[in-house]
Amino acid sequence: MFAVAEYRPLFGSYVLATVGDQLARLALTVLVFQRTGSPLLSALTFAISYLPWVVGGPVLAALADRLPRQRVMVVSDLARAALVAAMAVPGMPLPALLGLLLLVSVAAPPYEAARAALAADVLTGDRYAVATSVTGIVLQLAQVVGFLLGGLLVTALPPSVGLLLNAATFALSGGWLLVGLRPRPAPLVEAGAAVQSVWRDTAAGLRLVLGDRRLAVIVALLWIGVLLNNAHEGIGTGLSEELSGGQGLVGVVLAVHPAGAVVGMLLVGRFCPPRLRDRLVVPLVLLSVAATAVAGLAARIPDRGVSTVAFVAALAVAGFATAWTVPLNVAFVAAVPPAARGRAIGIAMAGISAVQGLGALAAGAAADVVPAGTVVLVTGLAGLPLVVVPLLALLRTRAPAGRAVAGPSGT
């Protein structure tokens, strides 16, 4: 897949932006926690970046089908570079920081939808199936690097350094895409389809995703699974305080889950045949939720050293088990025509981002009342019955045969 010239900038720019984004998100979360001491406000900072997905993700993602996808990505990256650089101005009031963060996040839905859909145009057949797994692995590694680097920076340097690095990664990403991708017409125009209002296009995408039983089941399972497996991200600072008495472990707490996911995706995505991958979905989903509950129990161990080791190990197992997303991502848009991929992927990603943000916010609110470890425990215990219904529904469906295309995680 890396032999395809256009895929290299598409892949590399995404890794760059992801590392910088995680670094900046962590820097802002710590900055807010330092100023306010509130896990809820810290979680709000983490969650606000998902708000545009919640209130307008499908509509914004429709731009990826209505406009040339390269242009959508380049403009999104350069706009985010300028906005994040403004956030690094010393003494920026907290409300202004959050407002700029919200504006930065508005560019995410069209960018993500365009990137995922364009990858399916650039890579075909088995190449895309391989890219789905590899991109997922590298995305998790990028998150690990971003969180660990961010954890080091926030203990030694002002958060503004992390923000400036994020602005630089967005600028580099946009420039790379500009020179590395060939211009293409807007997908709807290329397909000869009538360009309707953005609302009609969005509604058509919703009907497409929710009208197919298997797609609807996959979306439901993805949304619930992401909600349960990522809620702890919003209370990383609180968990670090609980485990170590300070913020020194915040990078480790946030990085261990994606680190486990790297190993899981490598083993499941690269070394398991397709049939085995499909059979592993159910046990891996259950393991991911159960391991989250075990992590919550580990945080309650009185000995801080033992508690930290057990918590990190359990959360790594939970991350490993999220490899169940690999076969679901490959199958997600098997029935979606190329001209509708931006909308279909955007709708699924809107839900994923919505539950990530809402989960982080709910976890932060709960951590203002009970210990952060208890929040993780309750998330895992409550999650086991929540995943049963979509898992049973998934078992009653059959995977569409023949095509390997983009998944809703954008990989």
Residue 138 lies in a domain: yes
CA dihedral over 164, 165, 166, 171, signed as positive or negative: positive
Record the tokens describing residue 80, joined without a space.
């985010």
Residue 198 and residue 51: Cα distance in Å, rounded? 20
Residue 126 lies in a domain: yes
- Asked whether 148 and 24 are in contact (CB, 8 A), the reply is no
Query: Which pLDDT score, from 0 to 100, does residue 278 have?
Result: 84
- Asked whether 37 and 155 are in contact (CB, 8 A), the reply is no
- Nearest Cα to Cα of residue 372 among 357, 360, 382: 360
Residue 162 lies in a domain: yes
Q: Using the structure block, give the residue that is written with the tokens 């731009």.
A: 63
Query: Which pLDDT score, from 0 to 100, does residue 340 have?
Result: 75
Residue 143 lies in a domain: yes
Residue 147 lies in a domain: yes
Residue 1 lies in a domain: no
The number of distinct structural domains making up the chain is: 1
CA dihedral over 300, 258, 48, 50, signed as positive or negative: negative
Residue 28 and residue 101: Cα distance in Å, rounded? 9
Domain range enclosing 318: 7-395
Residue 410 lies in a domain: no
Residue 45 and residue 97: Cα distance in Å, rounded? 9
Instruction: Return per-residue pLDDT of the chain as tens, 411 residues.
Output: 787 889 899 999 888 887 777 777 777 877 787 778 777 777 777 777 777 877 777 888 888 888 999 999 999 999 999 999 998 888 888 888 888 888 888 888 899 889 888 887 888 766 766 777 777 787 777 767 766 776 676 667 777 787 888 899 999 999 999 999 998 888 877 766 666 777 787 888 788 888 888 888 888 999 999 999 888 887 888 888 888 867 678 878 888 998 899 899 888 877 888 788 889 999 999 999 999 999 999 998 988 889 999 999 999 999 999 999 888 887 776 667 777 778 888 888 888 877 887 888 888 889 889 998 999 999 999 999 999 999 999 888 865 444 444 444 444
Residue 270 makes CB contacts below 8 A (sequence gap 6+) with 133, 134
Residue 164 and residue 49: Cα distance in Å, rounded? 17
CATH number at residue 15: 1.20.1250.20
Record the tokens describing residue 313, joined without a space.
């190990």
pTM over 0.85: no
- Asked whether 87 and 162 are in contact (CB, 8 A), the reply is no
Burial of 15: CB neighbours in 10 Å, binned 0-12, 13-18, 19+: middle
Residue 159 makes CB contacts below 8 A (sequence gap 6+) with 27, 28, 30, 31, 153
Residue 257 lies in a domain: yes
- Asked whether 189 and 342 are in contact (CB, 8 A), the reply is no
